[in-house]
Amino acid sequence: MVALVVGWAAIARADTVGYEIKIPERIEVVPGAVGELSIELAIDRGYSISKDAGIILDVAPDGGLVIAKHRLGRGDAVDPDADSPRFKVVVHAEAAGDYAIKVHARFWVCGAKTCRPIDIRRSVAVTVVAPK
């Protein structure tokens, strides 16, 4: 049983080699104003994000939050030609409260000889508070 647990831990660590998604756990927005959610697909040295395969970011806000575009691709990045593309999602809310934005990212990470698909899901807490 111990060997099985150790084996799974090694697989879990190996699965995240080469990339990282940088996304905040929480953002704050003022009612009636806009906030910004930043998403970066960071790549380790020696790896790349395939430019032949697409990058797909599905962004699903709770009711009460408004975003302009729910599906983003490489062309929507702040820096579409960068090795580690960054995305800025403008978030608008009218009423105070606690909400969430679900992010589903799909892209291909390539090493020296092979590429593999990456599928990541994250949730960002959004707090809408009156200005202080």
Q: Per residue in 81-127, pLDDT tens?
A: 898 999 999 999 988 999 999 999 999 999 989 999 999 999 999 99
> Is there a contact between 48 and 109 (Cβ–Cβ < 8 Å)?
yes
Predicted local confidence at residue 88, as pLDDT = 97
Q: Which fold has domain 2-128?
A: Immunoglobulin-like (2.60.40)
Question: Confidence class of residue 130 from pLDDT cuts 50, 70 and 90?
Answer: confident
Q: What's the predicted TM-score (pTM) here? A: 0.82
CA distances for 64 relative to 7, 56, 67, 131, angstroms: 43, 24, 10, 18
Q: pLDDT tens for residues 32-87? A: 889 999 999 999 999 999 988 889 999 999 988 999 999 999 999 999 989 899 99
Residue 6, pLDDT above cutoff 80: no
Residue 127 to residue 69: CA distance in whole angstroms: 20
Residue written as token pair 């202080």 = 132
Q: Is the alpha carbon torsion for 93, 63, 78, 83 positive or negative?
A: positive
> Is there a contact between 130 and 29 (Cβ–Cβ < 8 Å)?
no
